[in-house]
Structure 1
């Protein structure tokens, strides 16, 4: 594991350059620039919130923060994993023509998705301050450790799926379908009670993404009830996935050059 972080340390300046370049190129020649990272989720939340508040019969002012706080970590998870899948393929030129430490490439994608996550979180807190200014409390500070846990989880998953996609190129398409399925079986746009009442609680309780999104959601909502067991489970899952990913990343190493 120490060798893994040593590799990241060696190539940290290249990693920084790549992440900054990706961010600036994404919004190059755009009038609003990074503001789109806030405008896009706000628009989506407004539309989805209006529709689902009518479907579920929940007041929009109550449902909107719940929806926004769930979509924020979900978009990060989806973006980090989806882009991480092709992280080595996109970096083929760097890998085959230089001796750059390959460990930085999945992390590059996760950091890019994390920047969008930060902007989306800012948009959320601005909207929440306008809707429920009295709801802000000290428990919202748990957003920071919650974000760290979900970041470690996404980092680990991205390491793994980037390797899988090198060996099985059809995996990226399969993963897209899988993420769509997980979106609907994870209580992101609906309350967990909806599944409980129909006897399908096991569907989301055995879903690791439920724990990742929930610890961030509850902290963003400033929930007065701190569910310690949710934090413990999420931390264990994130750490386990990350350690497994380091093992396989180090084991394969620069042999990935032969997969292109």
Structure 2
């Protein structure tokens, strides 16, 4: 009975231990960025440059195709692509984060959740680098900001916390079932096209908008961060869906992690 109780709380203890040592994953995240771009003149700014070029190309092409005013479309597109890059890269990295850390997990007594925090922190650093593109775009199209920009902070916090539980859930599942990595990649491609990232929601008829956007969790997570940047206030539904995902998803991922934390090292 004591052994069963000890293992049933293993996941919770692991998460708490990782959070109590939050400085370690943040330091490792910064070290990952430095290591990836070692001996590079521009370092991580290469990601920002490539993202900026992509935004410029897609903006001109799709803005012309959709006949959208550039003053509205370019800030919408740039914010959407930057936030989507954060979401998609975090989700894809989550599928292999524990597999990549196999040697550390087997040799060092570091909480498993530390690797999740490290990966999300690394992608968050890249996100802030890319976010510098947005004010440049706004200056180019003479797009101003308003007080709705303050919603950006709680929106980003909720998005990041959602990505943490999603990453934990996927990390456990994909460590056990390696084919899930390809499935997640395919689902991300579908999510990119059905979510208003390179097209504006105003292009949809009212009925299609209700059917396509309201049940789309990616849209709501994107909206609570993007809308404040482009001067809009996220809707109540955006906040409720995002907060509901955070509560329910965190509980489910923690229950799964609690159950299978002890087996992870055997699956690697």
Note whether the superposition's TM-score is higher than 0.5: yes
Note the C-alpha offset of 1:187.
1.0
Question: How many Å apart are 1:12 and its aligned residue?
Answer: 3.2
Question: Displacement, 1:240?
Answer: 2.0
Structure 2 unaligned residues grouped into runs of 5+ = 1-10
Superposed, 1:176-215 pairs within 5 Å as 176-196=185-205, 199=208, 201-215=210-224
After TM superposition, the structure 1 = structure 2 runs for residues 4-153 of structure 1, keeping only pairs within 5 Å, are: 4-133=14-143, 135-153=144-162
Mapped pair 1:237 → 2:242: no
User: How far apart are the structure 1 equivalents of 2:166 and 2:266?
Assistant: 22
Aligned mates of 2:219, 2:234 — CA distance in 1: 16
Deviates more, 1:70-79 or 1:244-253: 244-253
Distance (whole Å) between structure 2 residues aligned to residue 44 and residue 136 of structure 1: 23
Q: CA RMSD in A?
A: 1.9
- Which deviates more, 210-219 or 14-23? 14-23
Q: Residue in 1 aligned with 2:258?
A: 250
The normalised TM-score by structure 2 is: 0.89
Worse-superposed segment, 50-59 or 250-259: 250-259
Correspondence for 1:168 among 177, 190, 194: 177
**What TM-score, normalized to structure 1?**
0.92
Equivalent-residue separation in structure 1 for 2:77 and 2:180 (angstroms): 30
CA contact (8 A) 2:63 2:69 kept: yes
CA displacement 1:201-222 (0-9 Å, x = unmatched) = 4123211000000111111112
Count of paired positions? 258
Q: 1:66 to 1:233 in 2, by over 3 A?
A: same
Structure 1 gaps, min length 5: none
